Chains A and B, each alone.
Chain A
C-alpha cells in the first residue's frame, strides 16, 4: 500500500509537469490555433539560463525568478518578431516556423552549454517527507505544490483580472475585441509570454530529476501533447486533468507492467495521442466541432 501511495504521488509530480507543459501549449493553441512545437525547447533554454544564473553565485530562488522573467520577455518578443508575420499564413508555414524555433534553441543550447549532461540544483529539501506514516519524496511534493500554485494563479489571472478578460476576448473574438479597443496583437504576445513562463517553471521543476541536457524536454513535450489531446486541446482544465492522469497512469504502468517498462512509456503516450485523436478528437473536455469533408 505504501508503495502504491508513493508511486501515485510520484506520478502526480511528473503529471503536474506534463500538466504545466500541456497548459503552455493550450494557451497558445486557444489564442492562435497554433501548436507551438518549440514549447519544450523554449522551456529547456530558460532552464539553462536559470542554471547559468545560479552558477554566478546568485541565490537560487532569485535566479529562478529572473529566468522566469526572461522567459516572459523572450516569449513576448518571439511572438512579435517571428510568429506575427506568419500568423495568417497556412498551417504548414506556421508549423515550420515553430520547428525553426525548435531547431534554433536546441542548437543555441548546445552551442552555449555543450551536450554534456549537467546536474541542476533543487530548491526542495532532499530529506523525505513523512505524511501519515508514508515517506514521500520532498521533491515530488514540492513539484506538485509549485505546479498547482502556478496553474491556480494563471486561472485567477484569466478569470479575475481585466487584462485576463481582454486576452480571452482577443483569442475568441479578435474582430469584436479590436472594435472595443483591445490591442489584439499585444494580447496574443502576452499569451506567448505567459505560456513561456509556465514552460520555464515546468523546466526548472523537472530539471533536477531529468538533468540538464539540450534534448531533455523532447519527450516531456510528447507527454504534454498526449495530455493536451487527452483533455481536449482547447481546454485548460482538460490539459491539467489530462497531465495529472497521464502522469499517474504512465508511472503505474511503468512500475507494475513489465512489458511497458520505461522505454515504451513514450510509445504509450503516442498510442494515447493517436487513439484519442481518432475516436474523440475533442478530448475529454473539448467542444465537438463539425468539419466538412
Chain B
C-alpha cells in the first residue's frame, strides 16, 4: 500500500487538470494554458538548476527560440501549429547542448552572469533579424481551431493539448531523473570531485542536462506563442527569464511539484497584484523571493513536504518526487549562519 501512496497526489493532480475546464469560466481556461507552458519551462529549470546546480538566468532565451521556431513555421511557412512544438523542442535541445558545452567552462556565478547577459541580449537579436522575425512588431498567428470530432471550442482543445504535452514532459523527466541520469546529476551538484572519481562523466551529464532543460523551455515557448497567437521581442524580455526563476524558487526548486506550484504562482499572482499597481507584481515577487531565501529556501513544495513528513511517519521506500535527502539539498544544506 505504502509504495502506491506516492501516486495519489499525481492522480489527484491529473483528475483536477482534466475536470477543471468544466468548473471554471473560459478566461480562466485561457490562463491555465499559460500555466501548462510555464510549468514545462519551470520544470526544465528545476532539473538544470535545482538538481544539477547549474544556474541559468537565461531560460527566457530558450523560450524565445522555441516560440519563434513555432511562430516562423506557422506564419512564414504555413505549417500547422502542432509540428512547431516538437521542432521547437529539437531546435532548443540542440541550442541547449551547445550552451551546455560552453557552460562546462563557466562555473557557478560566471554561468549566471553569462546567461543573464544572454537573456538581456535576446530581444535585440530578435529585433535585428527583421526579415525572419518580423522585427519590433513581431508577428501574429492564426488562432488554434479544434478538430471536428472535439465537442468544445479551440481554446479548450488547446488546453487539453498543452496539458497532455506537459504530462508527457513531466513523465519523461521523471523517468530520466529517477535513473542513473538523475543520480549522476545530483552527485555532480553535491560533490563533483567524488562524482568524477566514481566514474561519472561530468561533461556528458551536465551538457545533457542543459540540452534537456532547454528542450523543455522550447516546448514551453512554442505553447506560449501558440496560445497568445502572437510573438514579439517583448514577449521574451529579460523579465520572462527572471519570472521563470521566481517560479522555480517559490514553487520549490528541489521537486517536480515545484514546477506546478511555481507555474500557478507566476500566472495568477501578477493578475491579482496588478489590480493594485502595474508595477506591484515585481515588488511582490522580489520581496517574496528574498523572504523565501531567508526563511524557506526550498520553496512552497519543499515546505509542504516537510510539513507532511512531520505528520506522516517516514517511509521505507524512496518517494518518487523527492529524489534526495534534505541534507543533500543545495539550498537548504547550509543555513545562513551569523557570526
Please report A residues at the B interface, Cβ cutoff 8 Å: 33-35, 37, 82, 84-93, 95-97, 99-111, 115, 185, 214, 218-219, 221-222, 225-226, 229, 261, 263-267, 269-270, 273-274, 277-278, 281, 291-293
B108 sits at the interface (CB 8 A): yes
A91 touches B108 (CB 8 A): yes
A263 touches B124 (CB 8 A): yes
**A101 and B109 in contact, given A90-B333, A225-B116 (Cβ under 8 angstroms):** no
Q: Is the interface of A mostly helix, strand, loop or mixed?
A: helix
Chain A residues, CB < 8 A from B286? 100-107
Q: Is the interface of B mostly helix, strand, loop or mixed?
A: helix
B193 touches A267 (CB 8 A): no
The complex places the Cα of A116 from the Cα of B114 at a distance, in Å, of 29
Chain B residues, CB < 8 A from A95? 55, 57, 109, 112
**A263 and B279 in contact, given A35-B109, A86-B293, A103-B246 (Cβ under 8 angstroms):** no
A97 touches B282 (CB 8 A): no
B272 sits at the interface (CB 8 A): no
B114 touches A277 (CB 8 A): yes
The complex places the Cα of A229 from the Cα of B110 at a distance, in Å, of 9
B278 sits at the interface (CB 8 A): yes
**A261 and B128 in contact, given A101-B290, A219-B120 (Cβ under 8 angstroms):** yes
A107 touches B279 (CB 8 A): yes
B293 touches A96 (CB 8 A): yes
5 nearest CB pairs, A to B? A107-B282, A104-B286, A110-B279, A103-B286, A100-B289
Chain B residue with the shortest CB-CB distance to A113: B279
| Chain B 97-111: CB-based contact to A (< 8 A → 1; otherwise 0) | 000001001111110
Chain B residues, CB < 8 A from A107? 279-286
**A103 and B334 in contact, given A96-B293, A225-B116, A293-B193 (Cβ under 8 angstroms):** no
Q: Of A115, A219, A261, A293, which is within 8 A of B202 by CB?
A: A293
| Chain B 285-306: CB-based contact to A (< 8 A → 1; otherwise 0) | 1110110011001000000000
B336 sits at the interface (CB 8 A): yes
**A92 and B278 in contact, given A101-B286, A291-B107 (Cβ under 8 angstroms):** no
The complex places the Cα of A49 from the Cα of B244 at a distance, in Å, of 30
* A3 shortest CB reach to chain B, Å: 25
Chain B residues, CB < 8 A from A90? 330-331, 333-334
Interface size bracket, B side: 35 or more
B338 touches A85 (CB 8 A): yes
Q: Of A96, A104, A267, which is within 8 A of B121 by CB?
A: A267
Chain B residues, CB < 8 A from A292? 193
B113 touches A225 (CB 8 A): yes
A103 touches B336 (CB 8 A): no
B125 sits at the interface (CB 8 A): yes
Q: Of A96, A109, A278, which is within 8 A of B289 by CB?
A: A96
**A103 and B280 in contact, given A85-B336, A93-B297, A95-B112 (Cβ under 8 angstroms):** no
B127 touches A263 (CB 8 A): yes
**A111 and B277 in contact, given A86-B336, A96-B289 (Cβ under 8 angstroms):** yes
B212 sits at the interface (CB 8 A): no
The complex places the Cα of A214 from the Cα of B335 at a distance, in Å, of 34
* B93 shortest CB reach to chain A, Å: 20
The complex places the Cα of A270 from the Cα of B115 at a distance, in Å, of 9
A218 touches B193 (CB 8 A): no
The complex places the Cα of A288 from the Cα of B297 at a distance, in Å, of 33
Chain B residues, CB < 8 A from A281? 105-106, 110
Chain A residue with the shortest CB-CB distance to B136: A263
A91 touches B238 (CB 8 A): no
* B4 shortest CB reach to chain A, Å: 34
Chain A residues, CB < 8 A from B278? 110-111, 115
The complex places the Cα of A99 from the Cα of B127 at a distance, in Å, of 26
| Chain B 156-180: CB-based contact to A (< 8 A → 1; otherwise 0) | 0000000000000000000000000
Q: Of A101, A109, A266, A273, which is within 8 A of B113 by CB?
A: A273
Q: Of B106, B238, B279, B293, which is within 8 A of A97 by CB?
A: B293
B116 touches A222 (CB 8 A): yes
Chain A residues, CB < 8 A from B124? 263-267
The complex places the Cα of A222 from the Cα of B117 at a distance, in Å, of 6
A92 touches B53 (CB 8 A): yes
B106 touches A278 (CB 8 A): yes
The complex places the Cα of A80 from the Cα of B71 at a distance, in Å, of 47
Chain B residue with the shortest CB-CB distance to A278: B105
Chain A residues, CB < 8 A from B331? 89-90, 92-93
Q: A104-B290, A218-B120 are in contact. List 11 more A-B contacts (CB 8 A).
A: A37-B116, A92-B49, A92-B330, A100-B290, A104-B286, A107-B283, A222-B121, A229-B113, A269-B117, A277-B106, A281-B110
Chain B residues, CB < 8 A from A35? 109, 112-113
The complex places the Cα of A264 from the Cα of B196 at a distance, in Å, of 39
Chain B residues, CB < 8 A from A221? 120
